[in-house]
Structure 1
Amino acid sequence: MRFLLDNNLSNTLATGLREAGHDVLHVRDVELGAADDTTVLGFARDERRVLISADTDFGGILARSELDSPSVILFRREGGRRPVEQLRLLLANLDQLAEALKDGSMIVLTDRLVRVRKLPLIP
């Protein structure tokens, strides 16, 4: 799968996803570390990458824009989460989420919840 990691996520997560066989860019790899959320979302869409973030603003942007892509995976914290734990959580759920990600979805991941909403989001 092709991923773009947002600035609020560690390169450790990117490395782990690459080791699992995925094509991963971090926003800092493409000089978007200081870019606004709309620019990051546009890059992910143009490059056909799933955006992975911990920034809840992306849900609002998707809802207002009524875009049907890119898919976004949002980590929600129920406590401190290290990149290794984020990687474990993502890899444990990725196979079952693959089709939804391909079709365009907003996915929220926590330790206890996996919520999938098909894009476009209706406000």
Structure 2
Amino acid sequence: MKLLVDMNLSPRWLGVLFEAGIEAAHWSMLGAHNAPDSEIMAYASVNGYVVLTHDLDFSAILAATQGEKPSVVQIRAEDVSPDVIGKQVIVALRQMAAELEDGALLTIEPNRTRLRVLPLQLRS
């Protein structure tokens, strides 16, 4: 698995991910700082990345398009510093690696982790 870290997260995430043996790149190294989320999603899909973000727009894009890839990991916490929630993110990434390879939305909150398999289905 390789992660594409969104602009709304610090490049410091790269060190934490590399230390855990996870390949990662920060969007600031790959594309325009003001690129729309749809461009980041397209890049991730074409290049086999899982998107790591703090932005809810990525899950909205997956829901609207019923996309199957790329997988998205969204951190839902007030403090998204790798010093604070990094260990929890690494544990979740390792536990859900197979699902993320297949296509999933993983939401990590301070007190719980939720996984939804892609494509997202509208609930009735």
Q: Same fold (TM over 0.5)?
A: yes
Query: Which of 85-94 and 38-47 deviates more?
Result: 85-94
Please tell me the root mean square deviation across aligned C-alpha atoms, in Å: 1.2
Alignment-derived partner of residue 22 in structure 2 = 22
Amino acid across the alignment from 1:98: A
| Whole-angstrom distance in 2 between the partners of 1:45 and 1:86 | 26
Structure 1 unaligned blocks of 5 or more: none
Structure 2 unaligned blocks of 5 or more: none
Alignment-derived partner of residue 95 in structure 1 = 94
Q: TM-score, normalised by structure 1?
A: 0.92
Secondary structure at the counterpart of residue 45 of structure 1:
helix
Secondary structure at the counterpart of residue 12 of structure 2:
helix
Equivalent runs, 1:66-85 vs 2, <5 Å: 66-77=66-77, 79-85=78-84
Amino acid across the alignment from 2:34: A
Amino acid across the alignment from 1:119: L
Count of residues in correspondence between the two structures? 122
Identity percentage of aligned residues:
30
Alignment-derived partner of residue 115 in structure 1 = 114
Alignment-derived partner of residue 6 in structure 1 = 6
Amino acid across the alignment from 1:108: T
Matched, 1:33 2:27: no
Q: 1:13, 1:86 within 8 Å by CA — same for their partners in 2?
A: no
Amino acid across the alignment from 1:47: N
Secondary structure at the counterpart of residue 9 of structure 2:
coil
